[in-house]
Amino acid sequence: MKKLIIVILTCLFLGIGFAQEKAKDSKAKPCTFHGKVEAVTTKGLTVNGEEVKGWMGAMTMNYPVDKPEVLKNVKVGDQITATVFQGDLTLHNVEVVPPDKSGKQKSK
């Protein structure tokens, strides 16, 4: 009986810890992400991303996206903006930056 109580309390404390960690994630600071799409795969976008000040330097890497339909609308060469949250590499609310009148992509 004593072992059962220890197991139950351990599970309870672990559950509380995970819930607190999830709550921290929901308070993560949103940042604006800018970059150029280099590849589109079923797993996400490979983006040559600009520096996200205060969080990560400029780099090219594969990022998952929050909405899979984005992968059908974005193509290699597109300039994009998105929202990222510190500690989470998922691109949220991905938008293609329209080209300006000269045909070049606008940068925000």
Number of neighbours of residue 48 by Cβ within 10 angstroms:
14
- pLDDT for the residue numbered 22: 43
Residues 6+ apart with CB under 8 A from 33: 49, 50, 52, 80, 81, 82, 83, 84, 91
Token pair, residue 38, equals 């280099």
Per-residue pLDDT of the chain (108 residues; tens, 9 = 90+): 666 556 565 555 555 444 434 434 557 889 999 999 999 999 999 999 999 998 899 999 999 999 999 999 999 999 999 999 998 999 999 999 998 765 555 554
- pLDDT for the residue numbered 27: 76
- pLDDT for the residue numbered 24: 42
Residues 6+ apart with CB under 8 A from 63: 44, 45, 46, 47, 49, 89, 90, 91
CA 25 to chain centroid, in Å, comes to 12
- pLDDT for the residue numbered 19: 41
Q: What is 30-96's CATH topology? A: OB fold (Dihydrolipoamide Acetyltransferase, E2P) (2.40.50)
